[in-house]
Amino acid sequence: MTKAQQGNSHLLKYISLITLTVQNALVGLSMRYARTRSGDMFLSSTAVVMAEIVKLITCLVLVFLEEKSFDKFCNSIKMTIIKQPVDTLKVSVPSFLYIIQNNLLYVSASNLDAATHQVTYQLKILTTAFFAVVILQRSLRNTQWSALVLLVVGVVLVQLAKDETAVAHSNRSQSQLLGFAAALSACFLSGFAGVYFEKILKGSDISVWMRNVQLSLLSLPFGFITCFLNDGDIIRKQGFFFGYDAFIYYLIVLQAGGGLIVAMVVKYADNILKGFATSLAILISCIASIYIFDFKLTFQFSLGALLVICSIFLYGHQPKIIDKHTPMDKV
């Protein structure tokens, strides 16, 4: 690799990490604000569908750029999606789960403050590890098991850190138990869907963008069904875009970009730097919540958040094992 290529790789690595940090922090804060502000409440089920549409369009553009011609692009879509129906149907499992997960995240954001929501959702590390061991037959290092214990303890501390003097940011009824249950359910779905999708991704030579095209295409029918099952009456009376404004469209684009940013980070960065970005996003959410949502930072919450951040670093840490028979330039 030339110096210019190394420079570009480093630049892309840090751009992707900074973008992931900002996106992680903004999505929690923005979802919380969108669900607690005054005015007509938008339908979260329709927002999930719109995010999938934006993601689908973006991935189609990226696939087109990869193929570099319209004929190759059309042939690639035909060969991957139409000519391989069994393979496409395999992707329907994570598609369905991601739709439910994204709806649950809105429920969590409606009932938990942004900082608590952000910290609690890190339990997806635990569920992902569990399903990786069960489905992919992976083994965890002792440090990773220790990280998972720290993670659980940290989240428990955060959930128990109720500030009785805190004033709700809106008059909408909220339930911390419901919010936690929704976040926990989303973590389980995220863990299983992520590991299942990884198994499909690594079991073929199909690009990550094409897999995301399949994912979004199959998610849309599930998303529309969810819309009309949960909010059919409101959609028929008020319309699909009831309660939408510029802020909701911004939130939809922000959510759609999340998966694409993670793909960039996985490609150009590593687990430790990804953990750093996630940890920094938690800190940003906590600080912003103090000023935006009158969030009261307690010692117990701070200790829990610190344990969660430490667990992220510990879980992602991969010690280098140097074999005495291995040349140093190969390590």
Task: List the domain boundaries for the chain.
Answer: 11-317
Q: How much is the pLDDT for 52? A: 92
Tokens of residue 325, six digits? 């028979």
**Which carries the bigger pLDDT value, residue 270 or residue 151?**
151
Q: How much is the pLDDT for 267? A: 61
Of 172-181, 213-222, 266-275, least confident by mean pLDDT is 266-275
What phi and psi, each to the nearest 5 degrees, are found at residue 40? Answer: -65, 135
Tokens of residue 163, six digits? 């500030």
Of 9-13, 77-81, 280-284, least confident by mean pLDDT is 9-13
Phi-psi region of 270 (alpha: psi -120 to 50; beta: other; left: phi over 0): beta
153-167 pLDDT tens trace: 988 888 887 544 344
85-101 pLDDT tens trace: 788 788 888 889 999 99
Would you place residue 247 in the very low, low, confident or very high pLDDT band (cuts 50, 70, 90)? very high
Classify residue 327 by its DSSP letter.
-
Q: Which residue is associated with the tokens 């089920």?
A: 45
**Which carries the bigger pLDDT value, residue 324 or residue 38?**
38
Q: How much is the pLDDT for 166? A: 44
Task: Report in angstroms the alpha-carbon separations of 132 from 53, 135, 185, 193, 229.
Answer: 29, 5, 17, 11, 32
Q: How much is the pLDDT for 321? A: 52
Mean per-residue pLDDT, 20-48: 88
Percent of the chain clearing pLDDT 70 (strictly above): 84
Mean per-residue pLDDT, 234-256: 92
Q: How much is the pLDDT for 181? A: 93
What phi and psi, each to the nearest 5 degrees, are found at residue 240? Answer: -65, -35
